[in-house]
Amino acid sequence: MTVFYTLGDKLYVNITNRCSCDCVFCLRGSGKGVGSAETLWLEREPDLDEIKTAFGAVKLDGLTEVVFCGYGEPTERAEIVIAACEHIKSKCNLPVRLNTNGLVKLIEPAFILSSLEIFDSVSISLNAADEEEYLRVTKPKFGTETYSALLDFAREAKKHTNVFFTVVDVIGEEQVQKCRELAKSMEIPLRVRHFVGNNESYS
């Protein structure tokens, strides 16, 4: 069971295969593994002790960042993701990032946003510049309220940590440009990632 895997100089944390979206460009649809991981499909979700044990076995030499990002949305396990981050921060000096779809308040309404302070940064998948396009490309189970919830999350999260949006370039230049304008209006940086599939480009 792969909980930690590397790609380049980053260490990734794979704690769940659950996700409330079904994005048309999700890597889960194009292969089993990413980077050093043969497969990111989990037999079951690791508990906190298993995550701690697995982290203890990781060689940190040469790594520059720890990123919660696997074959699923980390905040599907919001409590565990915070506790695992706290553990990692207590054991090393590497910066820790959360990659998220930004829907934790729909997944877990009781989630306390100030707990994001434990992360050095939070990367939010913006995916589209308007609700209609967002619903088309991400197919969220929460329906029409999802896009506004994502934007609300971003506005609130940036009060507690460094936040940036990401989009993949496969959404097209017109959408990318609109995303740039939206991100600018919210005073949140936007990173545009070149999408080339598993093992080559993963935020």
Minimum CB separation from ligand SF4 for residue 23, in Å?
3
- Does 18 participate in binding ligand SF4 (rule CB under 6 A)? no
- Does 23 participate in binding ligand SF4 (rule CB under 6 A)? yes
CB 140 within 8 Å of CB 104: no
CB 16 within 8 Å of CB 70: yes
Q: What character string, x for contact with ligand SF4 (CB under 6 A) and - otherwise, covers 83-112?
A: ------------------x-----------
Interface positions, 120-159, toward ligand SF4 (CB under 6 A): 125, 138
How many positions of this chain bind ligand SF4 (CB under 6 A)? 11
- The 8-class DSSP code of residue 70 comes to B
Q: Which pair of structure tokens corresponds to residue 89?
A: 């921060």
Q: Which pair of structure tokens corresponds to residue 8?
A: 């380049």
Segment contacting ligand SF4 by CB under 6 A, of 18-26, 40-48, 149-157, 170-178: 18-26
Q: Which of 73, 166, 175, 188 binds ligand SF4 (CB under 6 A)?
A: 73
Continuous segment of H or E residues that includes residue 167: strand 162-168
Q: Give the β-pairing of 65-68 and 162-168.
A: unpaired
Q: What angle do CA 87, 89, 92 make, to 5 degrees?
A: 110
Binding site for ligand SF4 (CB under 6 A): 19, 21-23, 26, 28, 72-73, 101, 125, 138
